C-alpha cells in the first residue's frame, strides 16, 4: 500500500478487481494501462544509469503493465510484493529455490502438482537439498518430520487430483514454529476463496494460467508475499532472468476484471454437476470439498470462502478401461489436463505415479472434471449419456 492509499477504507473484492492496477491519469486518461513492449529504458544522463533511481530501469525489472498486474495481486493477497513468472510451474520452482540452501530439508505435500515434485526430486536434490514428502492429512507424521528440521514447507490445498483439504492453519503454524519458510500453491481457490497470508503463510503462489487469466490461452505464474520471503523470491527470479511477455501480462490483467463474476458461476455449475453425480448409483465418491459429506468438507467450510469448479469422481466396481471408454465418449468435455478456463474438461490422472508418502487406492481410478461455463443441464446430460457406457 502506498501513501496515497493508506488512508482509504479497505475495499471489497469486486471493487478491488475493478479499480486496482489502473491509473488513467498517468496514461492520458485511458482506462487501461498500456501494453509496454520493452527491453531498453532510457536515462537522462550517465549518472542516472549508475544511481538507477528512476522508476523503470530495464524491461525485465518491471513495466507499467507488469506493475498493474502485481498491484491487483497484492491487493487480492494482502501482500507487499508480487513476482510474475512465465508459468505457474516457474512460480512454484522459483519460490521453492528461493527458500533453501544446500544441506537444508524441505517438506512438500504428497499431493503437490507433479512437475513441482519433479523439480524438487531433480533440481533441488541435485543441489544438496533433502526433499521429504508428507501426507497432508497425517499431522503426527508432519510433526515428526518437522522435528528433524525444515527450511521450507510447501502446501497445496485442496490437491488438484485427489482434493484432500489440508488443515493449512495447523500445518503452517507448526512449520513456522519450526523456523520454516512456508508457501502454498493456491491455484484451486484463487485469492477470492482462500487468502494464505491471512493464515500466516509466507508465500501464496498461483498458476494464473487457470482461473485468474481464465481463458485457456496463456501461461503465467504469480508469487505474492511480504518481507524477507518475497525479497528472496525476487532475488532468485532476478538471478534466473525470468520475465513474462507484456501481452500475456495484459491478458491476465484483463482476466482479473471478471474473476469475481466467473468464480461464483463456476461454483454454481460445479455444485449442480457434483450433486447430480453424488445422487447417481454408478458413482463412488465425489471429491468436491464444497459438497456436504465430501472428504475435507468441514475444513473447506471453516477456511475457504467459496469453491472453484475442479473436482474428481470415482466409480463403483468399474474397470479403468470401462471408465476410459466413458470419458472418451463425452462430447462437451474436452479431454485435457488443464483447468480454470471457460470450457469443461475431463481427464484420468494416474495418481500413484506421483505419490510417495501415501498411495491412492488402485481400485479407485479417478476422473477429474473441470466444470466450465456451459449450461450445467447440458453437462449433466452429456455425463448421463456417456455413463450409459458403464
Ligand X SMILES: Cc1ncc(COP(=O)(O)O)c(C=O)c1O
Distance of closest approach, residue 199 Cβ to ligand X, in angstroms: 18
Which grid coordinates are listed for 121?
526430486
Nearer to ligand X, 16 or 236 (CB): 236
375 is catalytic: no
Could you tell me which of 337, 326, 333, 322 has the C-alpha nearest to residue 379?
Answer: 333
Element (H or E) spanning 184, and its range? strand 181-185
Nearer to ligand X among residue 104 and residue 185 (C-beta) = 185
d(CA 224, CA 79) in angstroms, rounded, equals: 6
Interface with ligand X in residues 148-177 (CB under 6 A): 160
Q: How far is the CB of 111 from ligand X (least distance, A)?
A: 9
Active-site residue identified among 81, 105, 174, 210: 210
Distance set, CA 294 to CA 225, 289, 299, 339 (Å): 31, 6, 11, 21
- CB within 8 Å of 185: residues ≥ 6 apart: 88, 92, 112, 113, 116, 154, 155, 156, 205, 206, 207
60, 234, 254, 268: the active-site residue = 60
Q: Sign of dihedral through CA atoms 292, 297, 303, 305?
A: negative
Catalytic hit among 104, 167, 185, 202? 185
* CB-closest chain residue to ligand X: 88
C-alpha of 182 from chain center? 15
Q: Which of 110, 164, 185, 382 binds ligand X (CB under 6 A)?
A: 185
Q: Select 57 or 338, whichever has its Cβ closest to ligand X.
A: 338
| Binding footprint of ligand X, residue count (CB under 6 A) | 13
Please tell me whether residue 113 binds ligand X under the rule CB under 6 A: yes
Answer whether 221's CB lies under 8 Å from 205's CB: yes
CA pair distance 166, 296, nearest whole angstrom: 8
Considering only 17, 20, 99, 219, the residue that binds ligand X (CB under 6 A) is 219
Nearer to ligand X, 33 or 88 (CB): 88
Q: Examine the residue annotation and report whether 185 is marked as an active-site residue of this protein.
A: yes
Residue pair 307/290 in contact (Cβ under 8 Å)? The answer is yes
CA distance 107 to 233: 18
> What is the footprint of ligand X within residues 196-215 (CB under 6 A)?
207, 209
**Whole-angstrom Cα distance, residue 321 to residue 345?**
19
Give the shortest CB-313-to-ligand X separation in angstroms: 18
- Lay out the site mask for ligand X across 52-91 (x = CB under 6 A, - = otherwise): -----------------------------------xxx--
Kindly list the residues in this chain that would bind ligand X in the complex (CB under 6 A).
Answer: 87-89, 92, 113, 160, 185, 187, 207, 209, 219, 221, 338
Catalytic residues: 60, 113, 185, 210
Amino acid at each position: 500500500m502506498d501513501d496515497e492509499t493508506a488512508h482509504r477504507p479497505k475495499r471489497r473484492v469486486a471493487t478491488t478487481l475493478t479499480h486496482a492496477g489502473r491509473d488513467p491519469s498517468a496514461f492520458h486518461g485511458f482506462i487501461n494501462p498500456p501494453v509496454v513492449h520493452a527491453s531498453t529504458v532510457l536515462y537522462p544522463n550517465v549518472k542516472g544509469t549508475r544511481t538507477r533511481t528512476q522508476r523503470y530501469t530495464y524491461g525485465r525489472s518491471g513495466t507499467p503493465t507488469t506493475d498493474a498486474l502485481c498491484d491487483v495481486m497484492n491487493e487480492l493477497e494482502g501482500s507487499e510484493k508480487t513476482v510474475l513468472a512465465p508459468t505457474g510451474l516457474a512460480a512454484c520452482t522459483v519460490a521453492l529455490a528461493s527458500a533453501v540452501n544446500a544441506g537444508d530439508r524441505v517438506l512438500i505435500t504428497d499431493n503437490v502438482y507433479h512437475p513441482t515434485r519433479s523439480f524438487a526430486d531433480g533440481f533441488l536434490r541435485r543441489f544438496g537439498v533433502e526433499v521429504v514428502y508428507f501426507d497432508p492429512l497425517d499431522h503426527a507424521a508432519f510433526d515428526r518430520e518437522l522435528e528433524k528440521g525444515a527450511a521450507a514447507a510447501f502446501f497445496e490445498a485442496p490437491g488438484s487430483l485427489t482434493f484432500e483439504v489440508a488443515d493449512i492453519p495447523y500445518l503452517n503454524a507448526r512449520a513456522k514454529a519450526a523456523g520454516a519458510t512456508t508457501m502454498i500453491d493456491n491455484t484451486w481457490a484463487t485469492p477470492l476463496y482462500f487468502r494464505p497470508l491471512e493464515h500466516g503463510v509466507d508465500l501464496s503462489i498461483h498458476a494464473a494460467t487457470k482461473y485468474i487469466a481464465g481463458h485457456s490461452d496463456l501461461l503465467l505464474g504469480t508469487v505474492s508475499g511480504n518481507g524477507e520471503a518475497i525479497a528472496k523470491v525476487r532475488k532468485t527470479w532476478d538471478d534466473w532472468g525470468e520475465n513474462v511477455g507484456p501481452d500475456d501480462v495484459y491478458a491476465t490483467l484483463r482476466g482479473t476484471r471478471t474473476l469475481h463474476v466467473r468464480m461464483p458461476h463456476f461454483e454454481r455449475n460445479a455444485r449442480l454437476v457434483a450433486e447430480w453425480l453424488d445422487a447417481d448409483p454408478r458413482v463412488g465418491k465425489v471429491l468436491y470439498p464444497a459438497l456436504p459429506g465430501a472428504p475435507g468438507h468441514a475444513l473447506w467450510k471453516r477456511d475457504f470462502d467459496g469453491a472453484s469448479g475442479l473436482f474428481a469422481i470415482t466409480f463403483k466396481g468399474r474397470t479403468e478401461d470401462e471408465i476410459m471408454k466413458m470419458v472418451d465418449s463425452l462430447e462437451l468435455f474436452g479431454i485435457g489436463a488443464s483447468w480454470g478456463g471457460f470450457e469443461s474438461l475431463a481427464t484420468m490422472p494416474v495418481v500413484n505415479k506421483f505419490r510417495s508418502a501415501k498411495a491412492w487406492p488402485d481400485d479407485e481410478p479417478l476422473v477429474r472434471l473441470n466444470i466450465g461455463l456451459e449450461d450445467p443441464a447440458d453437462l449433466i446430460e452429456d455425463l448421463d449419456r456417456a455413463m450409459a457406457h458403464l
